[in-house]
Amino acid sequence: MHLTRRSFALSSAALAASPAMAADARKPIVIAHRGASGERPEHTPMAYRLAIEEGADFIEPDLVVTRDGHLVVRHENEISGTTDVAARPEFAARRTAKLIDGARIEGWFTEDFTLAELKTLRARERLPQLRPASAQFDGQEAIPTFQEVIDLAKAESRRAGRVIGVYPEMKHPAYFAAAGLPIEARLAQALKDNGLDAVDAPVFVQCFEPEPLRAFKALSKARRVQLVGAERPEMVSAEGLKRIAEYAHGVGPDWSLVIPMRDGALGPPTPLVAQARALGLEVHPWTVRAENRFLPAALRKGEDPAAHGDVQAVFKALYAAGVSGVFSDFPGLAVQARG
């Protein structure tokens, strides 16, 4: 059956209203961080498809812009870490240095390439020493556009018989606006074109910068989530959460702001979840990773930083704290811990 964009939105609503989906709605959602990025090169179709096979409810595409104005999916606009661009002699002269959000970055940037040029590149694993099994898939896939990720979610929803949502992040929107390539209106139009411009659509729009989210509120009805890093705990204080509730539907804190680490172990939960939920805010902490390198000392197993530790303890602590969703590079493990 062929689904138009409008019929996809309608079918999503119908699936969400089904008894099975109503029961699932009580569970925290699992958001595949850049796809199943612990097992496949991030932000590739294969990473997204594996995440969906593992039970993820949402797939996350980070959005940056090309020189000719297309939304493409990369964690950063600097792409030497996730593509083979550095090995492509035809693009050697594109290497440059830029000031992005106050930091000097050297490399190759999406805004210096057309979509057609970016499509000639191939994706690769960003952390090959930590994730050598994923690196075995280097070179197999191209950079997807945002539209291609939406189409993938649509096709997988049809195949799986359940709604697969998209959870796009606007990356460096102030920087792109200054470069004459604003993200907000492009993203809002893409959501409208795909029947996703609704508060009950299977989509969340996230960003670390508050002002672009405030601006997006006037452009789209889609739900908005304010991301918060561990270095900004004041943003998720009682007063900070009240400010977020003025323009967002949820907050996405670093998971350590929900379950802090004390003496190398997991501590008791902070008041963040209770305070946010009292304001009607969803709480979707990021990013739970399974490797020892990313876990507190008490949860590590062995000395190898790439070996998996007791990540289930992190998931279970977050779920017990009452979060309404969680980001993970290993969505299958998040689903398993959710039960």
- Residue ranges of alpha helices (H) inside 92-205 are 115-118, 132-135, 146-160, 173-178, 184-193
* 316 DSSP assignment: H
Please report, in angstroms and rounded to a whole number, the separation of the first and last CA atoms in the chain: 32
Nearest to 35 by CA among 144, 109, 180, 187: 144
Contact 100, 4 (CB under 8 A): no
Place of tokens 């670093």: 254
Query: Among this protein's residues, is 75 annotated catalytic?
Result: yes
Catalytic, out of 43, 70, 75, 284: 75
> Could you tell me which of 182, 185, 207 has the C-alpha nearest to residue 197?
185
Contact 72, 156 (CB under 8 A): no
H, E, C per residue of 55-80? CCCEECCEEEECCCCCEEECCCCECC
CA angle 4, 58, 28 (to 5 degrees): 135
Q: Around Cβ 103, how many Cβ atoms within 10 Å? A: 7
**What token pair was written down for 153?**
């979610």
**Candidates 33, 43, 70, 284; catalytic one:** 33
Please report the sign of the dihedral spanned by the C-alpha atoms of residue 125, residue 130, residue 134, residue 136: positive
The number of CA neighbours under 13 Å toward the Cβ of 108 is: 22
Q: Catalytic positions, please?
A: 33, 75
